Amino acid sequence: MTAFTESEERQALRREVAKLASKYGREYFTKQARSGGKTTDLWLEIAKLGYLGINIPEEYGGGGGGIGDVAAVCEELAAQGCPLLMMVVSPAICGTVIARFGTEEQKRRWLPGICDGTETMAFAITEPDAGTNSHNISTTGRRDGDGWVLNGRKIYISGVDEAAHVLVVARTEDAKTGKLKPCLFVVPTDAKGFEYTPIPMEIVSPEQQFSVFIDDVHLPADALVGDEDAGLVQLFAGLNPERIMAASFSTGLARYALEKAVAYVKEREVFGVPIGSHQGLAHPLAQSKIEVELARLMTQKAAALYDAGDDMGAGEAANMAKYAAAEAACDAADRAVQAHGGNGITQEYGVAGLLVASRAGRIAPVSREMILNFVGMHSLGLPKSY
Domain ranges (residues) in the chain:
8-120, 123-230, 232-379
For position 238, what pLDDT does the model report? 86
Amino acid making up residue 17:
V
For position 3, what pLDDT does the model report? 59
| Per-residue pLDDT tens listing for the chain (386 residues) | 455 789 999 999 999 999 999 999 999 999 999 999 999 999 999 999 999 999 999 999 999 999 999 999 999 999 999 999 999 999 999 999 999 999 999 999 999 999 999 999 999 999 999 877 777 899 999 999 999 999 999 999 999 999 999 999 999 988 778 788 899 999 999 999 999 999 999 999 999 999 999 999 999 999 999 888 877 788 878 899 999 999 999 999 999 999 999 999 999 999 999 999 999 999 999 999 999 999 999 999 999 999 999 989 999 999 999 999 999 999 999 999 999 999 999 999 999 999 999 999 999 999 999 999 999 999 999 999 98
3-class secondary structure, 200 = coil
Vertex 110: Cα angle to 109 and 113 (nearest 5): 110
Chain centroid, CA 120 distance in Å: 14
123-230 homologous superfamily: Butyryl-CoA Dehydrogenase, subunit A, domain 2 (2.40.110.10)
Residues 351 and 266: their CA atoms lie apart, in Å, by 16
- Per-position b or e across 161-187, b if 16+ CB within 10 A of its CB: ebbebbbbbbbbeeeeeeebebbbbbb
DSSP string covering 29-74, please? Answer: HHHHHHHT---HHHHHHHHHTT-TTTTS-GGGTS----HHHHHHHH
For position 281, what pLDDT does the model report? 98
Radius of gyration, CA atoms only, the chain: 21
For position 2, what pLDDT does the model report? 54
DSSP string covering 121-184, please? Answer: EEEE---TTTTT-GGG---EEEEETTEEEEEEEEEEEETGGG-SEEEEEEEEE-TTT--EEEEE
For position 132, what pLDDT does the model report? 76
User: Which of 259, 277, 278 has the alpha carbon at shortest distance from 336?
Assistant: 259
User: Which of 287, 370, 286 has the alpha carbon at shortest distance from 322?
Assistant: 370
Residues 317 and 184: their CA atoms lie apart, in Å, by 25
Q: What are phi and psi of 64, to 5 degrees?
A: 75, 15
For position 138, what pLDDT does the model report? 94
**Which residues partner with 196 through β-bridges?**
212
Residues 100 and 92: their CA atoms lie apart, in Å, by 12
For position 5, what pLDDT does the model report? 86
User: Which of 379, 25, 35 has the alpha carbon at shortest distance from 204?
Assistant: 35
In sign, the C-alpha dihedral spanning 258, 262, 268, 272 is positive
Residues 170 and 190: their CA atoms lie apart, in Å, by 18
Half-sphere exposure of 31 (CA within 13 A, CB side): 5
Inter-residue contact 241 to 217 (CB < 8 Å):
no
For position 62, what pLDDT does the model report? 98
User: Can you name the CATH fold of 232-379?
Assistant: Butyryl-CoA Dehydrogenase, subunit A; domain 3 (1.20.140)
For position 373, what pLDDT does the model report? 97
Domain 8-120 = CATH 3.50.50.60? no
In the 3-class helix/strand/coil scheme, how is 70-92 assigned residue by residue? HHHHHHHHHHCCCCCHHHHHHHH
